[in-house]
A and B are shown apart, each in its own frame.
Chain A
Amino acid sequence: MGDGGVRHLLRRAAIGLLLAAAACAPRRSPAPSASGTLELRFLDVGQGDAALIRNGGKAVLVDAGPTDAIAGKLRALGVDSLGVAVATHNHSDHIGGMDAVLASFPVRFYLDNGDPANTRIQRTVLQLVRDRGVTYLQATDRTIEVGDARIRVVPSPVRDRPADQNDHSVALLLERGAFKALLTGDSERREMEGLLHKALATDVDVFKAPHHGSRTGILEGWLERIRPEVVVISVAAHNDYGHPHAEALAAYQTAGAHVFRTDRDGDVIVTVDAAGCYEVRTAHGGPASVARGGPAACAPPPLKESLP
């Protein structure tokens, strides 16, 4: 077993201990969200995707959910401007609220996959980007610095079927210290195969399940490579598509990941310190951490700290 394997086992042991401690611990006050903490928040937007990244006073939105309700959610979270708004791809469950975002907040940069979807919502979004003077970023291999965190932009390696938006999703790798979170939009097997060949990431802490937990986002060898500790599924309860599919849930559980779902947990909030130690809280679970992990140095607190 190499160093990476040892590190992975240590991290898994740490997250397991915390889960056990959290199960019998009283609620604690919320983790401080002062400067110095990176927040990755998967927003409960129903059947769609939206994630908010905040660090060092800067904010990045990744997808905008299916409706304009996203604007009110961002306002309620204290967002007053966005450094970047990203559309991983141009399906309406990812950009349905993007026009409301662009109309409601100053946005410095807009990044998408560059593919025409021919829909009214995409045309409206692109017109807003143009008319409001938002600087457009192509999905090229580039990095976005957000305070002391960085987002690596990875364009889809699939280029031969322009009609297939899912497999043209922009992938994002968020890193701070030793922490890594991977978001791949609604990527399906062809894109995931390409990303595997690019050796995008191994040992990620947090992985957003592709395509709302669809079976189309499960690829042999993928989870073995990225080995996520936490998987977040952005999905609506009782949706028409059967998301998340049982095969996907089984795969994530077999991989040993702790699975969170926005339909059951509400917003899923990951906070990360400068070293990469992270905690996971959920809107429905209250302020107590329900998972924690990171480098081996991020040992969970002694159990006595959690007792009355």
Chain B
Amino acid sequence: MSAEELKVNGNGNGTIAPLQNVALFTSLVRRTVNRPGHLPGMATFHGYSGYGKTFAATYAANKFGARYIEMGESWTKKKLCASILTELGVQAQARTVSDQMDQIIEALAIDGVPLIIDEADYLATKGLINLVREIHDKSGAPVLLIGEEGLPGALSKWERVHNRMLDWVPAQPSTLADAKHLARLYCPHVSVEDALLEQITEAASGRARRICVSLERVRELASVEGLDSVGPAQWGKREFFRGQPPARRK
């Protein structure tokens, strides 16, 4: 491996910041945090499953000290409030939803950090979105909703919610540039040829998660065969990762 390759690939501890969706979400959070006072501070980051939305969101969450909850299918108002309070570190939680809302609003108003709600589709299906709007209105804290492709459509039914949105940002399918950066992060000691990365990206249909699994296989191949560099010739007729198994790795 040349010195130049070592410099590019030799550091396994790079950040995910250059990935397209990471840049999109980080910019979105920055805009909600720095918005002028008269603008609303809610936003969506939405897209198909597997685009790596949550993975992409970790960078901004850490940069801005965001609080994060992931909604569940069975969630009620009470569960939503209790989960937010726990995530905010409020020890003595009030008994009723309305008192819990006061606690959430007070804590978020003091902290001034963004609140990220993942699987936000459930906010629409469960009719809990107005609770979130109230939290945003009264605390002034930015609220980022992460969800599926249909999230904006589902939320636009509520006009008052619609008016609170600073922006609706669609997550993007992974590109070759993303695959190259993922190769730097996931195969730090292997040089992966562009031709192979192109094939991996195409087989993944833009799903970042699938690219990572394929790259993991490249890393294993390189490790087993003692290769410094892997391209279509070394890869041969092996399969790329296309489908969605129950777990990412065996």
Q: Do A and B come from one complex?
A: no
Residues of B within 8 A of A (CB): none
